[in-house]
A and B are shown apart, each in its own frame.
Chain A
Amino acid sequence: MNIPRIATALNHIDDELVSGAVEYKRKKKSPWKKWVALAACLCLVSSLFAPHLYMKQYVQKNHIVEHNSSDMEYVTVLPEYADEWEAAYRIHGILSQQEYPWYGNCRFDFDSETIMVGLTEVTDSNKQAVLAHTADTPVAFYQCEYSYQYLQQLYNKLEGKRAELSFLGVAWFAVSATKNRVCVCIDNPKNYLAICAASMLDSQGGAIEFITGEAVYLIE
């Protein structure tokens, strides 16, 4: 057996390579670095999920519910009620112009076949003020939760944040006089960020109804 030529040739390699191999010490990975990396990963994961969980809790705590637009009942206006329907809209138009802080909404109720006027404070003076605008049209009164003025203000707040809300996944929003709510359509029911962002503008709470599914504009 002869010494392979390459073993002899290796004796002519650069001095730096030889002394480098004598002095070289491999840097050992510190065990704590592994734990720091793991902790950093956990922090990252929790920082990603914590806001989501917080917002989910916020949504549950504030009883914010959403409806799927496919489950919602859409009312078809029958021709025989067209006059009453139109009258309800006309009265709503007049009353909303008056900026009464207690006026809620005006809608035609198909079950009772009556035009219903919702007031946040059902008092005789408020009723009289409404009747002064309804002429001979018969109306009935009921207690509603939110004034139209408040819903309009809420709508304006949402309008002011339209770009941000759109970025967060809000498809559209509108005041629904019939529902006595502001309807906000979001891209998916788990979009807690969009729900929270919109809900935080609702100072009274509960005045927003969230809708998911197809963005069908059927409000009003």
Chain B
Amino acid sequence: MDDLQIIELYFDRNERAIKETDRKYGRLCFQVAKNLLWNREDSEECVNDTYLALWNQIPPTRPNNFTAFICKITRNLSLKKLESAYALKRSADILSLSEFEALLPDYSLAPDIGDQELGEQISAFLRSEKELDRNVFLRRYWFFDSISQIAKRYSLGENTVKSMLFRTRYKLREFLKKEGFEV
């Protein structure tokens, strides 16, 4: 079933919408959650919360890009769950959030700029990058895939992935500086 049909099911308030969403996006959502939470139960709970959020948001929202829409909900819910001390303690060693810290750690820097605007700037930067570099970056920092997962997915060496990420991070940092962000 394609995305438009699934969305129509939501609009019809048909419970089959959840079933079809799970069939098509269940694995993807679970992977996004699992990469962040590193816990099966928490991840499954996050996926279920995603379906609930979808049920509540559609209608009135009619997403243009259902894949991105659902992934964003899962990621957002997973990050919120991660903020709980218990989850952070468990995953701090696994996640490379420290890789981000050097870039823009918290709201003490560029406090006047909203996340939305920062997201737009990052989008502009990523669009200027090569397709492979961009997707390696997104797989790591958006989907939180491990280095080995990315290397396997794109048939690259782990060292190649690491150096690509380092290069893109450096370029993003320079880009944000140029755009007036104090990083």
Contact = CB atoms under 8 A, between A and B. Distances in A.
A14 interface: yes
A2 B95 CA distance: 12
Contacts of A24: 131, 135
B118 interface: yes
Contact of B138 (A5, A7, A17, A26): A17
B116 interface: yes
Interface in A1-45: 1-24, 26, 28
Nearest to B116: A12
Interface in B44-79: 63-65, 67-69, 71-72, 75-76, 79
B97 A1 contact: yes
Nearest to B104: A6
B115 interface: yes
B23 to A, nearest CB: 16
Nearest to B92: A1
Q: Is the interface of B mostly helix, strand, loop or mixed?
A: helix
Interface in B163-178: none
Contacts of A21: 134-135, 138-139, 142-143
B9 interface: no
Decide if the interface of chain A is mainly helix, strand, loop or mixed: helix
Interface in A105-145: none
Contacts of B103: 4, 6
B68 A19 contact: yes
B97 A15 contact: no
Nearest to A19: B67
Interface string A57-99: 0000000000000000000000000000000000000000000
A15 B68 CA distance: 5
Contact of A10 (B82, B135, B142): B142
B34 to A, nearest CB: 15
A18 B71 contact: yes
A174 B146 CA distance: 79
Nearest to B88: A1
A17 B67 contact: no
Contact of B79 (A1, A8, A13): A8
Contacts of A4: 97, 100-101, 103-106
A16 B64 CA distance: 10
Nearest to B97: A4
A121 to B, nearest CB: 81
A15 B79 contact: no
B122 interface: yes
13 contacts: A1-B97, A3-B82, A6-B141, A7-B79, A7-B97, A9-B122, A12-B119, A15-B68, A18-B65, A19-B65, A21-B138, A22-B28, A24-B131
Given A10-B119, A14-B68, A26-B155, 16 more contacts: A9-B118, A9-B122, A11-B115, A12-B115, A13-B119, A13-B120, A13-B123, A13-B142, A15-B68, A17-B134, A17-B138, A18-B68, A18-B142, A22-B71, A26-B154, A26-B156
